[in-house]
Structure 1
């Protein structure tokens, strides 16, 4: 399960590569926003209101349909932010070919990657990150590069000694921000609830629920931290603006550090999100991510949400019995392997008893 998590995203990134790669130095500058559904409100449209007068953003807004667009732009596209008509047609065809994997597996009476991943229809955007101009997470600071050495996960390690060799995502604690607000390989459901003074963003992956007070109160003191940070919100016209701080440090922001490991966040990371209704079935989602200790510059996610009232979020069990982490450690740790060999030798020599033998002996007594 762990090794499959982001494979759908990796496949999606490949789908966006044009038939003839565009060199970064030859790529055109970012063009004006095309008529991408959900990024601009139609003329004269007004956002509905709740009973208490706030803009109504409630509903189911799964982002599984965005999994056909990579978070970071393929480097060979440079500052090319939008696909041409010809490239977009090719991307749609490639995505359709990938969807056929599901039916091929059904016909073969087997379950594989075609069932595991959720594939969306590619957008004209070449990446979910739209700032800076190259659509990629900025380089790390020297501290960020150094700290990336300790940012371990099941994606970077082959040997696991202790739970610190796994990310909070591996351990099903939290996917963290900003990652939790982007599509994964599956379970990309998002649901918005509202009540007077509060908004709640319910996430399907790792079953997180972000409870956001709109009462004007600031965050708690700096020592109070959590995996998903602490969010406070306010209305800016029809837009819900959410500021999140007070993060537990050490979670992956993304980017590339030592050995391809992600850059971790510090406790100075700040995320400002803006949810703007742009029609009865669309929200324009924007998120500015900054961490002055770990990244040399901020970056911005920018993409539409599309309403899907038929989407159902089921329980996210993640690791049944919470046994997978232990299994990784017992199966790969050279220290434990040596200890097992040592115990086996002692048991064969009669110096110690196998636990099962001890149980049998106790029952006989």
Structure 2
């Protein structure tokens, strides 16, 4: 009996250790997505895969594309025993904490040029002031696809359109080559083609003001993004995006992740026109009598929801 007990205990220890090792390896490993089963995917009358629906990621890429540990906040300062949140986000407590993530970058490395790496470090240090997301600017591509908001794909034989809940962003995927973008924009210009059952979208003409995540990963106006959308089954797609930018990176690099179709009554986009929510942040100090900005949260009188216009 005792021999059996110790044998089982030893086996359990080996199993837990192996599991722990595999979990640790996953933190620095490459994103793993199953191969598609061509016979199981929905198709349109023309035979093309049917991407129609509302989609959303389940990952932490919007915090940081790379593998990362959990931490107290995005904005930190030096504390007596380790980093602590800066005063501006201290009152958020655990709500402002950053969850851990295994990363979505293939190889877990973004190949920055030296000057671009320094800029990323500065961006991260000044996240509260510099991240375009805080001011509700359009997120750009590929970030729009892995923010914690759903997006909807509208697909027909003649057109493909993507609408995003965040900030009302939208993309028209041109099925014929539109040529060079006439002007750089927040969401760029998208040209879609088919590679077998994979929808390939080339995105150019983005301005240099968007970030890839809250960790300050950035690009220049020379960025070219090549997206690959591949249905794995009726409810899951494999999403890849390869970034090329000779002004910022020494070589192309790729992110990869699954994206899931939402089902049920909540499989629809809601309004999130967040520009209205940052008016006080951006323009409140221009009032004739600006509201104070340095009051502790405990001294601010709450406002009943029914009284908010």
Structure-2-length-normalised TM-score: 0.65
Structure 2: where are the runs of 5+ without partners?
1-17, 70-91, 294-309
Counterpart secondary structure, 1:325: helix
Aligned with 2:59 (options 62, 66, 81): 66
- Which residue is equivalent to 1:94? none
Equivalent residues of 2:56, 2:146 under 8 A apart: no
Which structure has the greater CA radius of gyration?
1
State the match for 1:320 in structure 2.
Answer: 276
Q: 1:290 offset after TM fit, Å?
A: 1.9
Tell me the equivalent position of 1:292.
246
Cα pair 1:219 1:232 within 8 Å, conserved:
no
Distance apart, 1:231 and its partner CA: 0.6
Provide structure 1 residue ranges, at least 5 long, that are not aligned to the other structure.
1-17, 76-111, 158-165, 257-261, 334-365
**Following the alignment from structure 1 to structure 2, what is the Cα–Cα distance between the partners of residues 70 and 189?**
18
For residues 207-226 of structure 1, the aligned pairs below 5 Å read 207-215=168-176, 217-221=177-181, 224-226=183-185
SS of residue paired to 2:167: helix
Tell me: CA distance 1:114–1:206, structure 2 relative to 1, closer, same or farther (3 Å).
Answer: farther
Contact between 2:27 and 2:103, CA under 8 Å: does it hold in 1?
no
CA 1:41–1:225 in 2, change beyond 3 Å: closer, same or farther? Answer: same
How far the C-alpha of 1:209 sits from its partner, in A, is 1.2
Alpha-carbon offset, residue 207 of structure 1: 1.7
Measured in 1, the distance between the counterparts of 2:178 and 2:124 equals 33
Structure 1 residue ranges (4+ consecutive) displaced by more than 3 angstroms after TM superposition:
18-22, 26-33, 67-70, 112-119, 145-154, 253-256, 327-333
Q: What is the number of residues matched between the two proteins?
A: 246
Indicate the residue corresponding to 1:128 in structure 2. Answer: 104
Relative to the length of structure 1, the TM-score reads 0.56
Q: CA RMSD in A?
A: 4.1
2:232 paired with 1:239: no
Q: 1:302 to 1:263 in 2, by over 3 A?
A: closer
Q: Is the 8 A contact 1:219 1:246 kept in 2?
A: no
Are residues 1:176 and 2:140 paired?
yes
| Residue 127 (structure 2) aligns with | 155
**Corresponding residue number in structure 2 for 1:194:** 155
Q: State the distance in 1 between where 2:27 and 2:273 align.
A: 45
